[in-house]
Amino acid sequence: MKVNGVVIPIGTLAGARQYMQSKSRFTAAEIEAFISSSLSLCMDKAIARDAAYRAADRLLQQERKGGRIAYSRGYWSAVGVSEART
């Protein structure tokens, strides 16, 4: 995924997806922090935060549209295949 000219490593996105599936509930800020911590190792922290914010938003929407997560009462949560909603 490329965000504002910053390439988000596939491993970082895979790790964020795995994090989402392993938690009973999580927030967008947690996903953003997960991505940002990976990016800040190799670039300016301000650039990493901005890219992580946008990457987390895109990733959450991809997973939501794919029926793998759902939003309820301020939290995201993993959804089983049989429970997937559109």
pLDDT digits (tens, 9 = 90+) for 7-52: 899 999 999 999 999 999 999 999 999 999 988 777 778 888 899 9
pLDDT at 83: 45
CA distance 21 to 25: 9
CA distance 77 to 27: 9
CA distance 12 to 81: 23
Residue, of 75 and 5, whose pLDDT is higher: 75
Instruction: Decide: 11 and 68 in contact? Cβ < 8 Å.
Output: no
Ordered domains of the chain (ranges, CATH): 2-83 (1.10.10.10)
Phi, psi (deg, nearest 5) at residue 78? -70, 145
For the entire predicted model, the pTM comes to 0.84
